[in-house]
Amino acid sequence: DGSTRHKKCLDTQTNEEYLCKTTNGSHEKMLSAYFRLTAQDGENDPLIRPVKKILKSGNETFLLISPKNFGDLHSYVRERRRLPEDEARSLFRQICQTVELCHENGIVLRDLKLRRFIFTTSDRTKLQFESIEEAAVLDDPEDDTLHEKIGCPTYIAPELLKINSRYAGKAADIWSLGVILYSMLVGRYPFHDKNASHLFAKILNGSFYLPGWLSNKARCFIRSLLRKKPEERMHSSDLLYHPWFQEEQTNDFFKMLDQENQENDDQCVPEYSPNER
């Protein structure tokens, strides 16, 4: 059924620990995608968590991945409540580079969210996308039309909520990027409700609050990602050219003094729940 299971394992010959991801069914396209990404990704600071070994047994494929990391971005934003624009800019640049790399290689990530990005350094400045098992590998890189709907409700694009609808996968990824950037800078999701029906109604409506203390370029960037019409959202190849990324370092100290104005505590980025999808 294509499901993925995770377990820690030990190479008894080398005593190396790995995270073993076991997937069912045929995954030739996914393995091919991993090889393509590995060939283009940087060797020293890869954007996608590298697969160390690939083993097969019957109808199962085992991906061995280094388990070492320094936490995920969801937990970090939760801990910090929100990030200064300079820090968020550095991290979000890496996220955009990851999405651009995947889109260029015909891969739609689909389940894009803060928790999927892990830190690879103790100073929490380098990110990797944890894996692409949930991604869609396109037969035709120019045709990203999808019908299977995968993703976490708070990150899902409005077009995925329409019944029996096909959607442009790359544009849906861009919407999820908007949710990620908003959450990093504001400290809560742009669309949030404990009731799923109310949450989806808010997403379909497309209205969200932008705090006045955000810079104009940050506000502009978020709006260009969270557009209701998929065709109006930015293309992944244009993201790094947005003026917000060209911004010189600014002093965010006074902006961070606004922490006490974080209204609606239930709107803050919540602790991760195992049921989050």
Catalytic center residues: 111
Pair 134, 102: CB distance under 8 Å: no
203-210 long-range Cβ contacts below 8 angstroms, 24+ apart: 203/156, 203/157, 203/158, 203/161, 204/158, 204/161, 206/158, 208/182, 210/186
Map tokens 């299977």 to a residue. 148
Map tokens 């050219």 to a residue. 241
How would you classify residue 151: left for phi > 0, otherwise alpha for psi between -120 and 50, otherwise beta? left
Pair 140, 146: CB distance under 8 Å: no
Cα–Cα distance for residue pair 184/187, rounded to 1 Å: 6
Please name the amino acid found at residue 6.
H
Q: Helix 169-186 crosses helix 73-80 at what angle (to 10 degrees)? A: 30
